[in-house]
């Protein structure tokens, strides 16, 4: 018997101010200096942005957010 699973769909959108805290949280979690060498193999952030810098990038539509479709 076959088991079927629903494929997860990812939606992307331009970021907004409601995303700032999430961006900062992810940035902190994946900052190069906080990861082990093994963790860095999956990707990392090298340059942390301030909240003000992220706000400016958002004003310029420069942040894109990917979310699981509900």
- Whether residue 42 lies inside any domain: the answer is yes
> Is 16 within a domain?
no
Task: Give how many domains the chain has, as a whole number.
Answer: 1
Q: Global pTM?
A: 0.77
Expressed as residue numbers, the domain containing 50 is 25-68
Pairing of strands 64-68, 10-14: antiparallel
- Residue 2: which pLDDT band, with cuts at 50, 70 and 90? low
In a domain, 40, yes or no: yes
Residue 31 lies in a domain: yes
Phi-psi region of 58 (alpha: psi -120 to 50; beta: other; left: phi over 0): alpha
Asked if residue 54 is part of any domain, the answer here is yes
Per-residue pLDDT tens digits for 13-40: 999 999 999 999 999 999 999 999 999 9
How far, CA to CA in Å, does 44 sit from each of 57, 59, 60?
A: 19, 24, 24
Does residue 14 belong to any structural domain of this protein? no
Examine residue 50 and state whether it is found in any structural domain, yes or no.
yes
């Amino acid at each position: 018997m076959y088991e079927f699973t629903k494929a997860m769909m990812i939606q992307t959108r331009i970021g907004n101010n409601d995303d700032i805290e999430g961006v900062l949280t992810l940035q902190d979690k994946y900052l190069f200096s906080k990861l082990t060498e093994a963790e860095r193999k999956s990707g990392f952030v090298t340059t942390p942005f301030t909240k003000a810098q992220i706000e400016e990038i958002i004003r310029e539509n420069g942040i894109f957010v990917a979310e699981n479709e509900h």
